[in-house]
């Protein structure tokens, strides 16, 4: 991680994450777009993203939990990730790291302290055998999701979130209030080559 250390990731997330969880639920979705429009996933986001509907199975995680809001998300991710690494989870490019945002339907808590519940963790091959020292057993949501892939600097991640929210509004999809990011375990790449997968759980 010498070329893109965790602190650089956190600094970039401070810039990006104001748009990560603020979309909340779509309370009054528009009529679904024609099939062709859904297939091309046209969005009004600043960058062009392909947004896809997918059905996922849950992936086991070891996580640390807290609350965060737009003004402190970076330090919170740093603190929780450091706690997990001290206990021997993840780190040094061994595992993909995950941040899950629990932003309730119609919630505005993301914009003010103490914020929304978040989980920061690492993917596991098997469910965590025992919870201890502030490390909890969790999993990514299963079921239907809207997914896009962001390739580029972390500070532009807000564009990927905007693309998913715009696509869902255009296609009549409703959010559950849970979204998450899966970061490339290899952060040695130049910022322009970093891959982050962004998911929104759908009703």
Q: Is the peptide bond before 114 cis (omega within 30 degrees of 0)?
A: yes
Nearest-CA neighbor of 65 among 83, 52, 87?
83
- DSSP, collapsed to helix, strand or coil, labels residue 82 as helix
Checking if the pLDDT of 85 tops 60, the result is yes
Place of tokens 């296609």: 171
| pLDDT tens, residue by residue, 150-183 | 999 888 988 999 999 999 999 999 999 999 999 9
Mean pLDDT score of the chain: 79
> Which stretches of the chain are assigned E, i.e. beta strand?
52-56, 60-68, 97-102, 116-123, 136-139, 143-151, 175-183, 195-202
The structural domains of the chain, ordered by start, are: 6-202 (3.20.80.10)
Give the pLDDT band (50/70/90) at residue 106. low
- Calculate what percentage of the chain has a pLDDT beyond 90: 55
Place of tokens 């290899």: 186
Checking if the pLDDT of 24 tops 50, the result is no
Q: What is the pLDDT of residue 21?
A: 57
Q: What is the pLDDT of residue 203?
A: 94
């Amino acid at each position: 991680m010498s070329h893109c250390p965790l602190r650089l990731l956190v600094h970039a997330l401070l810039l990006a994450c104001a748009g990560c969880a603020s979309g909340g639920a779509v309370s009054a979705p528009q009529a679904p777009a024609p099939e062709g429009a859904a297939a091309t996933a046209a969005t009004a986001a600043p960058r062009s993203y392909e947004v896809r509907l997918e059905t996922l199975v849950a992936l086991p995680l070891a996580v640390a939990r807290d609350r965060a809001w737009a003004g402190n998300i970076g330090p919170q991710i740093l603190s929780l990730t450091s706690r997990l690494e001290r206990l021997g989870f993840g780190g040094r490019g061994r595992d993909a790291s995950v941040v899950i945002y629990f932003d309730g339907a119609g919630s505005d808590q993301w914009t003010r302290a103490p914020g929304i519940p978040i989980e920061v963790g690492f993917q596991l091959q098997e469910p965590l055998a025992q919870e201890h020292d502030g490390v909890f057993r969790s999993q990514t949501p299963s079921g239907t999701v809207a997914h896009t892939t962001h390739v580029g600097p972390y500070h532009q991640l807000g564009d990927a979130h905007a693309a998913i929210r715009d696509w869902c509004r255009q296609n009549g999809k409703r959010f559950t209030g849970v979204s998450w990011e899966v970061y490339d375990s290899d952060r040695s790449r130049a910022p322009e080559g970093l891959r982050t997968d962004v998911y929104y759980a759908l009703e």
